[in-house]
Every structure is written in structure tokens, then in C-alpha cells.
Structure 1
């Protein structure tokens, strides 16, 4: 084929292919941009018109023209018939669009068209969407991609945060499971508490509570520090020996973690009064202890940022306790651990006995020397006085207990007294009540406390040493005006039955009514009246000891200093003033007194009122001064000795 004819045919083919592709894109209803994947705008029909001979009845659309100029070519030969050569170029291009395609030259031969005349192809421009500033065109030197929009610089979507739960410490599950029984082998830890601690670890998937990495976590260090300060609250730090572990030994770490949990449980329970069982000291000491479970302790300590402060909060929050704690710290600043005189052990000494230790005893008590080693009356009197001060039975006999007290420095003995009193504060509920009544038996005083302030106080008469007033807490719920008194079984057995056996009119002569039940049981009742043992009013809080607060017809006894005369109940001076406090303004003193003599009348309190019968022999006032009261029933001595035996 002739060279020009071959070149013209190739150019025409390229032009036909280009125009055919444009037409196909215009006719496609779902054309999409291959780079962005978005639909392309609909293309208008492509019309090729001869400018000299416009087609009849065809109106071109009002679009910008694309002018195709056809270069003049040499006259076609016979083999070149029907070929036209020219250059296709768009008449306009979209603003901001990509660079136009450079169409190759095309040679086209068309019958009836002069080769020298230019052929104008009116090709409408493609309407493109506004340019996106985020789209950057590709460099022009890439021939294929230059006609396509560049990849958009669109930031990737924000991904959701990935939450990865890391264990609280190293993986010690197997070691904790293996070493827990050994870690919980503490003498004062009951089986129930051990099981609760194991259950707590199982609920935590046997992960450590206190180990972080290869040692104590920050929270554990706070807990360890509080255990080290146990002595500040009168507890013994040696009761909570901290575990020693090897940081590189997983088994040692696991055992230390469980042991620390066990020590925290022991401390919390001791702080609430678990060191001694008060009911074993006396059947008249029956407080309700609020001992936390191991589950409760570990749940609370693990949930707070400062477990040390949470552990310390198990100690009594009461102001009386806090003052004793401050006094204990003051005493320890001036402590002297050296006894004045060391007295050897030996048999008890009584009046008139001879023993070489008498010279040491007299020196210890500040007595002058004696020619003979005789336990004479002056020595026995000095020993009795010391026993009284030490809270011991003042019988003047040098017993083993008295000898131990003589060998203890004065400051150390005073310390022990304060600690024993602090222990009795642990028997009280953590919350005494916004308004409550507190009766301090050794002090012979009753107080009504409201919002932390004493709003009423009165003298009281308490039980005799052989019929002691019990120590416990309860709630007062009603008051009885013009009460009857039913003689309790203890008095009935000791006094009335022997009297009735000797004289059938024994009770009637004293104004009592004797009734016999169907089973033959005898009850003795004293009707309301001026001579009634309960006076005109009694304050009831039903309890197992059958004791309560009440009036008394023998009011002159309130003038005495040592007021231990009752059979166990608490007699109150000016009881109608107390009624004003517990019954509220609806029941004034005048209204209550109008009921006297009109028959028994029960009045409910607006709401139950907490009442606490306590045994405080050592009290620190707001001025920091320590006041001591006589150990009326020996309860203080029992507590102190119980604590000493534990040591």
C-alpha cells in the first residue's frame, strides 16, 4: 500500500475509534469514572457536520463547538479515494479539568469533498462537574493516567478505639491456686473467712490483688503502711506480719498477695472488736459486734484508690475513741520501759507472812525499810491501794497478778489501761445514732446526745456489784406512765419465796399482788402507786436482761457519790425531763404528770431511739485530760487481762 495511503488509513481509524468511544460513553446510562467510582455526567450526542453543506432538519444543540481542522493534503491517488486528512481539536475545555487528550493526526478521504477545504466537526464539549480541590491531577508525563482524575487526598475514617483489658498484674493464676492454702494458714483466721478469701480470688479469676509486676502495687503499699501503723490504734503490729517474697519467684509472689489479703481481713475484724469475745468475759457483757466478712473487706479495699485509709476506717470513728488514741500517742512519747524494782516470782504473800521479797515490795511501793522481812499491815495496806489503782481486786494479798502489775512501769500500765478502754469502744455500733442515749455505768451518768452535742444529762443509779447492770446496745421504743412492777425471777427466788414460806402475807403486807398460774408458777406484781419500785414512769427497750430506765421513789440516793444500789436496772434522776427529750413536744412534762395516778398508760416514741449502756472507766475530755472511774464490776480488768493473755 502507498505510504500516504497507509498513514491516512491509520489516522482515520484512530479518529473513528475515538469518536465511537465518545458516542458509546454518551449513550451508556451507567458510565462511571474508573478512579473515583462515581457516575459520569450524561454526554450529549455527537454531530459531525459539513460546514459547507449542513444537514437538513437537524438542529445542533447549543453547546460550545469543537472545531476539527483538516489539513490540506496532496491530491489523493486512485488508491486514496474516500480518504480525508485533518486534525481534531476541541473548541473549548472544561475549566479546571484535566489536560486535553492530544488526538493524533487523521487522514480521511470522503467522496464529494474537496481535499483543500477544511472540514469543521462541531463536537460539543463534555460538561464536567466542578473540580474538587482535594483532587490533584496526575503529572502530565503519564500518558494514560493524565486523562483521569488523580487519587483524592481524603483522610481515612476515624477508627473506633481498641480496648484491650490487661490483667491487674502478672499471670499468677496457677501459683495463687497452689499457694493460697499455705498463705491462709493463720491461727486466728476461721475456716469461713478462708473460704471467703478463696472465693474472692476465684471471682477475680485468680489474678493478684496487690502484686504489680514484681512487687507491691501502689495501692498495696498504702495497705502495707496502714498495717504497720496498727499500734497507733492500740492493736499489735506483730499480729499482722508482712510476707517476705522473692520478686523472681512467681510462687512467692502469689503467696504474698494472698497473705496480704488475709492480714487485711484480720485487721478489719480486729478493729471492729474481734480480738476478744466479750461474752466470754461475762454473761452481762453482751454487745452486738459489727464484724465485717472477708468478702466485704476485700470488695471494699479493691474498689478504692487508697485501701490503707479504707482499712483504717474500720476503727471506731467516735470522738471518745479518737481522744483516747491521741492520749495513747502522748503517753508513748514519755514511755519508760524500765521497772523501778524487779521483784522475783514466788508464792502469794498475806498479812503476817515472812519473805525476803518484802524489802523489794516496800521499796517498789515507796515505803520505808523495815528491820524484818514481814508482810505487815502497812505493807498490805500499800498493796491494796496499788491494786485499786491498777484495777485489781483490792484485798492486800500479793498474788501473781499483783506481782506482774508491780513489775510493769507506771507508763506501760497506763498504756494498757487506755488500750483496754479503746477495745471496749469497738463493741459499739459504728453509728451511734443521730440522737441517742448513752449511760456510762462506772460514771453513774446518763446523756442524751443530738447531732454530736449533749442536750441533756442526769445522774443515774446502777446495779450493785452482785447484780450488775449489763453492757449492751438496744433501741428504746415506748414509755409507760404509772407502771406496774413484776418482780424478776432472781429477786423472787432470793427474797420473796423465802419470805412467803415464812409468812403467807409477806407480799401483801408490802403492797404486792401474788398470782399463781395454771402450771403452779408464782408471779408477784407491784401495782402502780407512790411506793412502786419503778416510780411514775419507765423507759422501755425490751432486751434479754429485762432491764430498762425508770423513776424511783427513793430519790435521796441520787445525792450519794457511789450510786450502785439497784438490781440491775438504771434509775434516772428527774425522769420527766428525759421524757421531754424522747417523746417530743407533743408530750410535755405537764401533760405527762397529769396522767399520774390515772392508770397504766403506754406511749410510743415517734421513732426508736438508740440507747447504749457502756462501761467507760477511762475518759479523755475535750481538754485532753484523762479521767478514770472505779472499775465497779471488774469488767475493765477482765478486758485488760484478756488482751495481755493474747500477747
Structure 2
């Protein structure tokens, strides 16, 4: 996540090909080379001859107009399918994953008749000419689109896009030409075959190879298979393979689902088709760094899962404990199999692990360290893939400025041009009151806020207190309000419930929101705010709130936030502090930017190390289950939840 990466100036990471990705002081990459696709390596005999793309290089494609009657068409197209719903998340298409990845392109030539001298004799003028290979493909494409489009794309939006795309170009193919695969087709097959590098399964984007002998009908079928699979691949790599809202009501992101017609226009008109396919993957630097980690582990054949270390009392240096051998195995520290002494070498390894996990390096193996160690099976491929999947839940367009809260890390960062300019600790929601995963827009700040108690807290926490003691909330500075007036809580029979009453805490030192709150209006009614319970920031595990995010050192956070949200206004901490006290005050931002509440249990730190955090809400495990990871290894969603065996 933005800002988790704090590499020294000038440090660099390498991608799977050995090329460097420059890392800035915050550890962010600045780009990534795209390896060229090798047809011979993919099992192709010939790359064939390329055809002209949809538009000349460097020019925009002609606009698609299915109703344009001014074009000469080789076949009369049928109307496009009925208007489709907006692009949906996930939803795999039929026909993919059914064959070996790759495609075999035959050599398409028309040899001349040999003469007695061994040289070729040109065809006699006026003699019948052999039909050009692929000449009948447009007509066959029109027929397939009119009658069998559902065979190549399951989603109505994809079907409509395929019909509009090919009708606009008079059903001329783009992935094949003259009986062979075009450079664009080769780029598409390269992306499908290399899907594992993006945490996807190449088998889910497999296209059966072209046979040695083929007719125009086979070429047209192949063209639509590649086109339909292009839409499936682009949607999966950009916005994910399932709708994340299926996990729980608190998982509520808004992935950017690509428009299928835009996908076809992008890949067919781009000067570099391989880069066009690469552009659908998340553009965040941290995603690229996770991708590098995945590539290295795939190359090294890693992905093992460590045995879980059982819970129990804290293990302190010098103590004997039967779990010590498992601890040695987990951290890769040698020792006798029956050595149960927690010695100095193992203590130092635990301290290193605690530093990487963001915990205090005290060498004591307590509950938090055990949870991180067991979650540290997150070094496996499955956890890397699950975290890469959650990067697809963010808006595809990277905003110049954004705020990001990584819930399992208990950190918030302000990011400008992919550089972290401020970071601090936060307290997030308890597992029973989870901070939601979502993105909204930061709009304003409130000083000296009142706290209007949410209904859930009233029902679950305050009502039982009132039933035991009507004045319990009064002693906390919380007023009971009915019809806009404060009433005496002792006059109410709380056994009958709290309907018709609201609860409000006035501004002040005891206010649960502290001195200020930072607002990004959302349906979950969560926000970032100060807190009077500042001792909680000293803890390593900071899941204590009712869902809102409590910010450490809010004055400093506000100073940096206003610096980008109110440019040129010189909001110093001293000026901000002058607003504290008295009634509520509102401060609207001139420049608005997104706030991303995210959930990454695996990320790369500033030293290039893969860091694993506790899966406090179980969302990482749920992601793996939805993807069918672990034992099943089925990565693409097929319309229903895939549970691991």
C-alpha cells in the first residue's frame, strides 16, 4: 500500500526478466518493462503475416456506429443484442479453460508451379486465381455473430461489444489475417499464456490452436474466441474475478470494470499491443512489487505453507516450550528436533520477524506474534495472489493525491504522485465492528464535533447500560434527546427499548471523536477522527473502534491534509489548534481526493522484504476461498462461490 514502502534513495527492484524497476525514497516503482512474447516458446510454428490494425499507428480508431449505412458490408449484419446491463465484476465466460494455452499458426503461401529449370513459372495471365486465404472470413464472422455469439461471450455487454466492434469494421478480423495469426493475435496469446504473472490462471484464458488445415469458418471461429477471451482477461486482470461484495456487507469497494467496447478498441488500435494488454492490470506501484514477489516464487517453485504454531502462554527468552521446534522451522533456524529451549539465536530471529511485522521487537512470542507467524503462511503463492486480487478492487485510475488506510497494518498514509508524504498509526474497527473496505471522496473537516451515537451502538451497548442504571451515560457526557430536547434519562422505562430517542455527546475533552474529524461521506457512516483514548496507539494490535478510524497525532495529520486539500492557505498546526474549543466548526476542502480503506495482509516494505500481517477480519481467507485457491487452485469465477476442499 502506498507509503508502506520506504526504500533508501536510489534503491531498485528487479522484475522477472532481470530488468530494474526504479524505486523512489518511499519504495514505489516507477514502471515495469513488458517482456516480448516468443511464438516459438509458445509452441507456434509461424507467427504468420500481420494485417493492418483497426487504425493506422498513432491515430485514433474510427468511431463505432452500428447504424452506419454508408459503409460497404460483405454481409448484412443482424441487430446487436438487446441493451446490456453495465459491466459486471467477475463472471467467467464459457469456452475458456477448455484447451491447452497457445495457438499454432500454419504457414499460408500459394506456391507457383515449378519449371523444368527449377525456377517458378508465373501463373498464366487470365487463368483462374486461387481464392485468397481468409477471404471469406468476414462473411463467416457476420454469420457467427448473428447466430452463435453466446458461444464466445456469456455476458450481454460483451456480446453487444463484439457485435458493434466487428460491424463497425465491416466484419474484417483483427486477430487473424490471410489464414494466419496477426501480431495483435500473438500479443493476445502472449497475455493469456503469461496470466500466471498477474496472479491469474492461464488455463482460464486458453484458446484451442488453429488446425493445420482450416477453412474460413474455422478462422472466423478462432477470431471470435480470441476476441471473447480478450474481454474476459481484461475484466479479470483489471477488476477481479468475483464481486467482492459477496464476502460481506463490510467489503464494499467499487472496482473499475472495463467497458468491453473500449477494451477491443484499445488493443486493436494501440501502437504496442503487448503494452495495451499490460495496461489493464492495476497501475499502483505496490501491485507491481507484489507481482515481482510472485514471479520470483513461481520461478523458484516456492509456495509452501508452514505448519501452524499452536496457541498457548507467551514464550520468553530462555524458557522451554514444546512449540519451539515449530518456531525454529517457521523462521528457518536450525537446531535439534527435540531442542525446546528458546535460545538467543532464535530470539534474534523472532525480533527480526517482529520488526518486519510492525510489532515491537521484544523477542516475546505472545498472541500477536503467534498470529503473525501463523498468518505468515502468507509467504505462500495463494496469499500473494489473494492480495494482488484485492488491488483490483481499487479504482483503476490512480489519483494524483489520495489517503489510504491499510486496515491489517493499522496505518494511514497521505500519498501524492505515488509518494508517501505523511504516515501515522491508526486504530481500526474490532472484528465484530469491522472498518469497511471502500473508497470515497475526502470533502471537509469538523472541529469540536458532537458525537451522534449510531443506532447499532445504542442497541448493543448503551441500552443495556441504561437498563441497569439510567444515569450511566449521563456520567459520560452523553445526552438523551427526544424531539430535539434533552430529557432526564431517569424518567424513561428503558426496558421498553430506545425507539424515539437519540443520544448525543457534546464537544469537549471526553467526546469520543476527540477534537476533530475528517469527513468522506459514505453509507457506512465511518470517518477518520481524533480520540481521547490515545494510549491505544502504543499497542501493536489496534482493532478497538466501532468501525471508524482513529488517527494518531491528528494535528500533524490535519496540517499535511490541508496542505494538499487547501493549497496556498498555509494551514500550520498552530493555526489549526486555534480552531479547537467552542462550538462545531466546518472547513471545506478546495481540492478533493479519494480515501481508500483497504485490506492488504501482504505487502513489500521499504527494504524489499515481503511483510505479512494478521488477517484480523478473515478477509484474506475469504478471498482465497472465493478464488478457489489452496487445495483447489481454481482461480477464475464460474458464476458461483468456489469453496476449497
TM over 0.5: yes
Determine the C-alpha separation between the residues in 1 that align with 2:529 and 2:402.
17
Determine the C-alpha separation between the residues in 2 that align with 1:283 and 1:549.
20
Match of 1:591 in 2: 575
Shift of 1:230: 0.9
Determine the C-alpha separation between the residues in 2 that align with 1:200 and 1:487.
53
Q: Which moved more, 1:173-182 or 1:547-556?
A: 173-182
Gap change, CA 1:229 and 1:184, over 3 Å in 2: farther
Shift of 1:245: 2.8
1:114-125 to 2 correspondences below 5 Å: none
Shift of 1:183: 6.2
Q: Which moved more, 1:468-477 or 1:578-587?
A: 578-587
Match of 2:541 in 1: 562
Kept in 1: contact 2:448–2:515 (CA 8 A): yes
Is 1:420 the counterpart of 2:404 in the alignment?
Answer: no
Larger Rg: 1
- Alignment partner of 1:238 out of 195, 203, 212: 203
Is 1:619 the counterpart of 2:603 in the alignment?
Answer: yes
Kept in 2: contact 1:272–1:316 (CA 8 A): yes
- Alignment partner of 1:324 out of 279, 290, 315: 290
Task: Give the SS at the match of 1:627.
Answer: strand
Match of 1:552 in 2: 531
- Alignment partner of 1:484 out of 450, 469, 490: 450
Match of 1:221 in 2: 186
Shift of 1:214: 0.3
Kept in 2: contact 1:441–1:615 (CA 8 A): yes
Match of 1:199 in 2: 164
Is 1:264 the counterpart of 2:248 in the alignment?
Answer: no
Shift of 1:205: 2.0
Is 1:179 the counterpart of 2:158 in the alignment?
Answer: no
Alignment deviations for residues 296-327 of structure 1 (CA, whole Å, 9 cap, x no partner) = 11111121132222111100111101111111
Match of 2:621 in 1: 637
- Alignment partner of 1:499 out of 440, 458, 465: 465
Task: Give the SS at the match of 2:287.
Answer: helix
Gap change, CA 1:340 and 1:545, over 3 Å in 2: closer
1:248-647 to 2 correspondences below 5 Å: 248-335=214-301, 389=373, 391=375, 414-517=380-483, 521-584=500-563, 585-643=569-627, 644=629, 646-647=634-635
Kept in 2: contact 1:482–1:600 (CA 8 A): yes
Two-structure CA RMSD over aligned residues (Å):
3.5
Shift of 1:442: 0.8
Determine the C-alpha separation between the residues in 2 that align with 1:173 and 1:454.
52
Kept in 1: contact 2:406–2:598 (CA 8 A): yes
Determine the C-alpha separation between the residues in 2 that align with 1:419 and 1:284.
21
Kept in 1: contact 2:303–2:380 (CA 8 A): no
Shift of 1:250: 0.7
Task: Give the SS at the match of 2:428.
Answer: strand
Determine the C-alpha separation between the residues in 2 that align with 1:556 and 1:444.
15
Aligned residue pair count:
439
Shift of 1:633: 0.8
Gap change, CA 1:415 and 1:595, over 3 Å in 2: same
Structure 1 unaligned blocks of 5 or more: 1-163, 342-349, 352-360, 370-380, 393-409
Determine the C-alpha separation between the residues in 2 that align with 1:340 and 1:560.
27
Task: Give the SS at the match of 2:561.
Answer: helix
Shift of 1:330: 1.0
Shift of 1:169: 6.6
Determine the C-alpha separation between the residues in 2 that align with 1:340 and 1:481.
48
Alignment deviations for residues 350-384 of structure 1 (CA, whole Å, 9 cap, x no partner) = 99xxxxxxxxx9xx999979xxxxxxxxxxx9xx9
